[in-house]
């Protein structure tokens, strides 16, 4: 049986695929076994190295670090989305005096690493007399400038990927550019680019770990602190496992919430489609 895009594998191909799959599974299992053996052989699973994480004060500090990480992420994510929205509108403007500065801003801060932005904010501004920059402000500002610039390009790419006929039809019925952008182009662009937006928000969450460079007390800062405790045998590997698991769970939770929001928005859009069309026609008649 043959399809235009896919040929059903024959007996030899099936056998070859099964052999390659078995070899791959065996290699992965051997790698995992070797890593676990080395960890056990070096005493990384001993109770002494994990004892520090059983103290209530340590668990409380971990909870506070999670809260600090989520706080920085929440503020930076909202600010990045708003900045990206504003910059994308500016870059799509017909006026050069607005389009050129937005383009320069986007290209500049997309090229500067997030860590450099945080260090400039925290270590570079105080010598210039700016003394109100706290570690939290430095982390949020660095994340916002970089990710806002990236999201601006995401929004712009989403808008430019839409058929030009929609824009032309909207102009033909008398809509102004602001109405075309807000009622027609941006809603579709956000839905189309939702997977990319979600991925970028996960990057924002993970990049909060860079805040330990500017002494921001988030998860990585705490992992480095407890991993260096010589009294408990310098549990670097246990600290890495504990805090790495927390990061994975946070990223999975964020992806799950974003996916739920995406599904809900699609369902509500199907259910409220006639109302949306009526609102668009009403807005056009007013204009």
Q: Do residues 77 and 70 lie in contact, with contact meaning Cβ atoms separated by under 8 Å?
A: no
Task: Collapse the DSSP code of 7 into the 3-class scheme (helix H, G, I; strand E, B; otherwise coil) and give the result.
Answer: strand
The tokens describing 80, both together, are 């990045």
- Assign 48 a pLDDT band (cuts: 50, 70, 90): confident
State the residue range of the domain holding 179.
48-283
Judge whether residue 174 has pLDDT over 80.
no
Overall domain count for the chain: 2
Q: Percent of the chain scored above 90 by pLDDT?
A: 26
Is 73 in the same domain as 18? no
The tokens describing 185, both together, are 């182009």
Is 5 in the same domain as 73? no
Q: How does pLDDT run across 128-172, given as a tens digit for each residue?
A: 877 778 899 999 999 999 999 999 988 888 887 777 777 777 777
Q: How does pLDDT run across 178-209, given as a tens digit for each residue?
A: 777 777 777 777 777 777 888 888 889 989 98
Task: Collapse the DSSP code of 2 into the 3-class scheme (helix H, G, I; strand E, B; otherwise coil) and give the result.
Answer: strand
Q: How does pLDDT run across 9-25, given as a tens digit for each residue?
A: 788 888 888 999 999 99
Cα 11 from Cα 4, distance rounded (Å): 20
- Which residues touch 79 (CB under 8 Å, ≥6 apart)? 140, 144, 148
Q: Taking all residues of the chain, what is their mean pLDDT, rounded to a whole number? A: 82
The tokens describing 282, both together, are 């009403």
Enclosing H/E stretch for 14 = helix 11-41
Is 11 in the same domain as 117? no
CATH code for position 171: 1.10.3720.10
Q: Which is it for the CA torsion 143, 149, 150, 151, positive or negative?
A: positive
Is 57 in the same domain as 140? yes
């Amino acid at each position: 049986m043959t399809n235009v895009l896919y040929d059903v594998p024959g007996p030899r191909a099936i056998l070859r695929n099964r052999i390659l799959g078995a070899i791959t599974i065996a290699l992965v299992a051997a790698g995992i076994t070797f890593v676990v053996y080395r960890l056990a052989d070096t005493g990384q699973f001993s109770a002494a190295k994990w004892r520090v994480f059983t103290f209530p004060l340590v668990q409380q500090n971990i909870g506070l670090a999670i809260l600090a990480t989520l706080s920085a992420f929440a503020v930076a994510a909202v600010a990045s989305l708003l900045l990206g929205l504003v910059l994308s509108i500016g870059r799509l403007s017909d006026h050069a005096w607005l389009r050129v500065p937005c383009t320069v801003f986007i290209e500049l801060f997309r090229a500067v690493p997030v860590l450099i932005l945080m260090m400039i904010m925290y270590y570079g501004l105080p010598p210039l007399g700016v003394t109100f920059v706290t570690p939290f402000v430095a982390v949020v500002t660095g994340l916002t400038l970089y990710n806002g610039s990236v999201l601006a390009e995401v929004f712009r790419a989403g808008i430019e990927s839409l058929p030009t006929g929609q824009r032309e039809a909207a102009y033909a019925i008398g809509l102004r550019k602001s109405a075309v952008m807000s009622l027609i182009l941006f809603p579709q662009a956000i839905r189309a680019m939702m997977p990319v937006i979600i991925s970028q928000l996960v990057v924002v969450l993970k990049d909060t770990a860079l805040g330990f460079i500017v002494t921001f007390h988030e998860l990585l800062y705490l992992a480095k602190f407890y991993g260096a405790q010589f009294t408990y045998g310098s549990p670097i590997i246990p600290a890495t496992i504990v805090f790495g698991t927390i990061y994975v769970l946070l990223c999975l939770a964020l992806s799950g919430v974003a996916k739920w929001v995406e599904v809900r928005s699609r369902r509500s859009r199907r259910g409220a489609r006639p109302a949306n069309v009526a609102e668009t026609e009403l807005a056009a008649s007013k204009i």
